[in-house]
Structure 1
Amino acid sequence: MLQSNPTKKGTGIELWGDYGDLTSLYETIHKIGERLNEYKKEEKGQSDIIMGFAYEVRKAFQYSRMKEKFIFDSENKVEYFGFKYLWTDLLYLISVLRYNAGYAVLDGIDQANLYILEHSCKKALFDYDPQGAQQIQHFIGQKIDIHNYLVFLVLQGINIEYLGKTPGKRRFRGIPNLLIAYSPFSPAYKMWKSDMESSAKALKCEVHEIGYDNYPEIVW
């Protein structure tokens, strides 16, 4: 079964599993992601969010990320493979998965994988900071607008602002306010979108075709 814990600086989550856990999760993610057309403007952002996570899961079970022995008792030592993921990325991912799962043909294993992923997220949130997690948990699978065709660009903007803050519990507890600030009807979002439209005009392209190239270094 998947295991989880917060990263050292509280920037995100570490997800761990054996080869079977991770390949099963990968298959579930792809079942859901296959219904999205990456070449369709309205679906590309959600597809990018799902496929970005699938990439990390694949890299993990291909032994290209982290490896560690988990000791459950004196007779049970299991080698697990893992990877790190931002809280903000994971919250958006879970909302995208939950919505699109309703339109995909899934079996019991797929449903279990989704429940375990959500459980792992909630557990790691509370392991890091119960006070902050009390508010953040309300964004697990809800309260996040994933239907905006600029959803992937919005998430990039959130991540850059999040990573630009000093790591710690204060930043962690600010996640709900950051998510709300980028909701479609907020003044901050309208200003952000106006800036993106100006950038797209200068680059002579559509807004959804641009991206950020100034990601801060991630201090996990």
Structure 2
Amino acid sequence: MLQSNPTKKGTGIELWGDYGDLASLYETIHKIGERLNEFKKEEKGQSDIIMGFAYEVRKAFQHSRLNEKFVFDSENKVEYLGFRYLWTDLLYLISVLRYNAGYVVLDALDQANLYILEYNCKKALFDYDPQGAQQIQLFIAQKINIHNDLVFLVLQGINIEYLSKTPGKRRFRGIPDLLIAYSQFSPAYKMWKADIEIRAKELGCRVDQLNYDDYPEIVW
């Protein structure tokens, strides 16, 4: 079964499992992601969010990310594979998965994989900071607008602002405010969109073709 813990600096989550756990999760993620057409602008952002996570899961079960022994008691030691993921990325991912899962035929195992992912998200949030987690949990599979052609670009903007802050519980507790600030009809969102429209015009491309290439270094 998947295991989780917050990263040392509280920047995100570490997700762990054996090969079977992660391979099964990967199959569920792909099953949902396959309904999205990456060449349709209204679906591309959601597709990018799902496939970005699927990539990390695959790298993990291919032994290309984290590896650690979990000790449950003196007779039970298990080697798990894992990877790290930003809180903000995970919250958006869960919303995208839950919405699109309603349009895909999923079996009981797929549903279990989605629930265990959400469970581990909530568990790791509370393991890091119960006070902050009380508000952040309200954004698990809800309150996040994923029906925006620029959703992947919005998430990148959120991540850059999040990572630019000093790691710690104060930053963690500010996640709800950050998510709300980038909601589609907020003044902050309108300013952000105006800025990227200017940038797109300068580069001679569409806004949805932009990408951030100035991510701060992630201190997990």
Q: Does 1:195 align with 2:161?
A: no
Query: Which residue in 1 is equivalent to 2:119?
Result: 119
SS of structure 2 residue aligned to 1:10:
coil
Shift of 1:5: 0.2
Q: Give distance in 2, aligned partners of 1:201 and 1:138.
A: 37
Tell me which amino acid in the other structure corresponds to 1:208.
D
What is the SS of the residue equivalent to 1:58? helix
Partner Cα distance (2:147, 2:203) in 1:
25
Q: Does 1:163 align with 2:163?
A: yes
CA distance in 1, matches of 2:129, 2:86: 15
Deviation at 1:120, TM superposition (A): 0.1
Secondary structure of the residue that 1:141 maps to in structure 2?
coil
For structure 1, the residue ranges without an aligned partner over 5 or more in a row are none
Map of 1:100 onto structure 2: 100
Deviations 1:46-73 (A, max 9, x none): 0000000000000000000000011111
Corresponding residue for 2:76? Answer: 76
TM-score, normalised to structure 2, is 1.00
Report what 1:204 is aligned to: 204
Cα deviation digits, residues 92-115 of structure 1 (max 9, x gap): 000000000000111000000000
Give the equivalent residue in structure 1 for 2:145. 145
What letter is aligned with 2:134?
Q
Between 1:129-138 and 1:201-210, the stretch displaced more is 201-210
CA displacement at 1:176 relative to structure 2: 0.1
SS class of match (1:156)? helix
Runs of 4+ displaced beyond 2 Å: none
Instruction: Return the alpha-carbon distance in structure 1 between the equivalents of residues 116 and 74 of structure 2.
Output: 26
Distance, in Å, in 2 between the alignment partners of 1:28 and 1:73 is 31
Q: Secondary structure at the match of 1:85?
A: strand
* Residue of structure 1 equivalent to 2:6: 6
Unaligned runs of 5+ in 2: none
CA drift at 1:212: 0.6
When normalised by structure 1's length, the TM-score is: 1.00
Instruction: Report the counterpart of residue 89 of structure 1 in structure 2.
Output: 89
The residue matched to 2:188 in structure 1 has which SS?
A: helix
